[in-house]
């Protein structure tokens, strides 16, 4: 059983909890997620099963979309509502102040990851150090925010909601914290939902209960085949001779390859073989998915 499942993770579950339950539902051990969602967050969590686990790093690298609620007036040590308040101020900003400040975060920038994160330093996760009362210097990371849309503003409750399209590695709670710093009244993220991860959207996600119900009736329609995930890449069909060479680890030349282009590669029987990239006129394998092409 191979493929990707678009899971809707609910608030209160860790990403590991989702993987653990899916292993029990599907009776499969080879399962992995494609990017951690905090327990207090909900939304899209693509899960790779079987040979699809080879694609986890590529799916993790996909752009994301989030909807976040920002609460003004206080900053927390975790930069979200689960933490302790470490600073507070009166909220004396207007809707126009909020709209202007939020839009200054568009584009490429550098972001300092929060201490309460799973980033490892010298083999230890930052949140483990934070729980010990330690804070260490973190190097800023390059991020990209392609779009920010303000969905609503409620100044009477000191809250507003944003939709963010961003690159991988962007911490939305840090974005909320930084917006508060720039407004001069502090802020933290009070709710978060990941609405898109690459091609996987919230509207097409399945809850774990739905997956369990479908599985019990023998319906596995919730699986997305690995090659379908990479439909953005052009399809190439190899002759049996070239397919055999590729499956033995040899780079093969194919007419019409474009420089640096990534391709989905199949044999003439329609079997998905590899994700490969053009290099010096030949196909260089990035990921293999075949087990055998005999017969």
Give the separation between CA 120 and CA 65, rounded to whole angstroms: 24
Any catalytic annotation for residue 146?
no
Active-site residue identified among 2, 38, 178, 227: 38
Q: Which residues are catalytic?
A: 38
């Amino acid at each position: 059983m191979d493929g990707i499942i678009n899971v809707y993770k609910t608030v209160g579950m860790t990403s590991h909890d989702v993987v653990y339950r899916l292993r029990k539902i599907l009776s499969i051990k080879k399962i992995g997620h494609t990017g951690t969602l905090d327990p207090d967050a909900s939304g899209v969590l693509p899960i790779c099963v079987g040979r699809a686990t080879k694609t986890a790093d590529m799916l993790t690298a996909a752009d994301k979309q989030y909807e976040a609620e920002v609460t003004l007036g206080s900053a927390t040590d975790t930069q979200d509502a689960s933490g302790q308040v470490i600073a507070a101020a009166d909220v004396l900003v207007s809707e126009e102040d909020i709209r202007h400040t939020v839009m200054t975060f568009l584009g490429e920038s550098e972001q300092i990851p929060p201490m309460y994160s799973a980033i490892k330093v010298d083999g230890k996760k930052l949140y483990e150090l934070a729980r010990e009362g330690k804070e260490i210097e973190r190097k800023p990371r390059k991020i990209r925010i392609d779009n920010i849309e303000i969905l609503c503003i409620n100044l009477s409750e000191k809250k507003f909601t944003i939709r963010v399209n961003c690159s991988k590695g962007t911490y939305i709670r840090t974005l909320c914290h930084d917006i508060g710093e720039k407004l001069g009244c502090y802020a933290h993220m009070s709710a978060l939902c990941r609405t898109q991860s690459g091609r996987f959207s919230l509207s097409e996600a399945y809850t774990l209960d739905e997956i369990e119900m479908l599985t019990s009736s023998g319906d596995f329609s919730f699986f997305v085949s690995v090659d379908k995930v990479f439909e953005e890449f052009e399809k190439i069909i190899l002759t049996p001779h070239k397919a055999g060479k590729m499956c033995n680890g040899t780079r093969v030349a194919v007419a019409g390859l474009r420089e640096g282009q990534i391709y989905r590669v199949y044999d003439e029987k329609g079997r998905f073989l590899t994700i490969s990239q053009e290099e010096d006129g030949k196909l260089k394998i990035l990921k293999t998915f075949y087990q055998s092409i005999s017969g």
